[in-house]
Amino acid sequence: MKADATSIKSHAASWIRSQGPLITLVVLLIFAVMRVPGFRSAVNITNIGKQVSMTGVLAIGMAFVILSGGIDLSVGSIAALAALLAARCSGEFFLAPILIPLAAGVTAGAMNGVLITRVKIPPFTATLAMMLGVRGLVFILAGKTAVVSGVSGQWFSKIAWGKWMGVPYAAMIFAGILGVAIVISRYTGFGRSVYAVGGNEEAANMMGLRVTRCKMKVYMISGACAAIGGMMLASRVTSVRPDIAVGWELTAIAAVVISGISLVGGIGKIGHVLYGVLILGVIPNIINRLTERQTTYANHLITGMLLLAVVLIQSRIAKKHNTH
């Protein structure tokens, strides 16, 4: 009986740890619905959906990278490049503001992959260099005015402002990409390879997995997701400045870590990225509504404390796992 009770307690503790992001989100939503004025309004919920969708797409790509044991600091700069290219091409032929930014994002991701897998530069250093280089390119392409006018095609602006049955297109894009990512991570050989490489790269090599190809793919996916996020941003704003999307890489990393995906790689579920993204969207909304003003510093403080708590919990779980 004691063994059964211990087993039940262990399974319960394991479930709570694995569902921690969901529990945190539910608690936040209950508090917001009961205590925060105007939170339940359709306009507010729609705005939250629009706001989290852009960085949420970046977080999906980041999740693949972190699960493989890497990191990508260049996604914010790639998103800015994609936004600028989308704004510049919005008056061209129908698919130009989609295909050209997407090609740029995949190319930047592939360059990250080459630097990491072929040149053997550590992911942090390689993607930091790419972040700075791409941001510099954005400033050069923007020219002397440092501002590129917003989209000229009405169809393109509907990506951010359009709705279908009350659901924003941006949220639908995020949900669609997340659904595809979940299927890839759970049911494909590539998805299993990502977890294997992140869990133990040396063992993955010994198993015959194509580690280099896997890493190349995750960084190209990250670049593509960053480009999609940038296109969504371009369709939302009236003008694209070269300093747009600054800090998005940190928001994406924060969402991934809060979702329960371990920074050491190989542990976590991509589907849980939804919880991390929503948590980071709901917290500032609650603060802004309670204080009736934009409180960026308070948002950063709470996000930082939440990140620290998650990392400490992950560290304790890893230590327990290693001792058993």
Residues 6 or more apart in contact with residue 260 via CB below 8 angstroms: 18, 20, 21, 268, 269, 272, 275, 276, 310, 314
pLDDT of res. 292 = 66
Q: Is the pLDDT of residue 273 over 90?
A: yes
Q: Is the pLDDT of residue 249 over 70?
A: yes
Residues 187-215 pLDDT 10s: 999 999 999 999 999 999 888 899 999 99
Q: Can you say how many angstroms the Cα of residue 132 is from the centroid of all Cα atoms in its chain?
A: 19
Q: Nearest 5°: phi and psi at 69?
A: 95, 15
Quickly count: other Cβ atoms within 10 Å of residue 272's Cβ: 23
- Buried b or exposed e, range 126-144, using 16+ CB within 10 angstroms: bbbbbbeebbebbeeebee
SS3 167: strand
Distance CA 228, CA 233 (A): 9
If you average pLDDT over residues 134-159, what whole number do you get? 74
All domains of the chain in start order, with CATH = 21-323 (1.10.3470)
Query: 90: which DSSP letter?
Result: T
pLDDT of res. 9 = 55
Query: 143: which DSSP letter?
Result: -
pLDDT of res. 133 = 96
Query: What is the sign, positive or negative, of the torsion defined by CA atoms of 262, 266, 268, 271?
Result: positive
Structure tokens at 286: 């609650």
Residue whose tokens read 């995020």: 174
The least confident of 82-86, 182-186, 299-303 is 299-303
Residue 287 near residue 45 (C-beta atoms within 8 A): no
Quickly count: other Cβ atoms within 10 Å of residue 207's Cβ: 12
Residues 8-56 pLDDT 10s: 555 555 565 667 788 888 888 998 898 888 888 888 898 888 889 999 9
- Buried b or exposed e, range 27-59, using 16+ CB within 10 angstroms: ebbeebeeebeebeeeeeebebbbbbbbbbbbb
Most confident of the ranges 4-18, 19-33, 130-144, 305-319: 130-144
pLDDT of res. 16 = 59
SS3 26: helix
Distance CA 153, CA 210 (A): 43
Runs of H (alpha helix) within 90-210: 96-117, 123-142, 154-161, 169-187, 189-199, 201-206
Q: Can you say how many angstroms the Cα of residue 316 is from the centroid of all Cα atoms in its chain?
A: 25
Q: Residue 67 is inside which H or E element, if any?
A: helix 42-67
> Which carries the bigger pLDDT value, residue 70 or residue 309?
70
The least confident of 2-16, 62-76, 77-91 is 2-16
pLDDT of res. 150 = 52
If you average pLDDT over residues 165-179, what whole number do you get? 91
Task: State in Å, rounded, how far the first CA of the chain is from the last one.
Answer: 22
Closest CA to 196 of 182, 184, 210: 210
Q: Is the pLDDT of residue 238 over 90?
A: no
Q: Which residues pair with 163 in a beta bridge?
A: 168
Q: Can you say how many angstroms the Cα of residue 47 is from the centroid of all Cα atoms in its chain?
A: 18
If you average pLDDT over residues 145-164, what whole number do you get? 68
By the 10 Å C-beta count (0-12 exposed, 13-18 middle, 19+ buried), 116 is classed as buried
Provide the total of helices (H) and of strands (E) in the chain, helices listed first. 14, 4
Residue whose tokens read 């990491």: 116
Closest CA to 157 of 264, 265, 235: 235
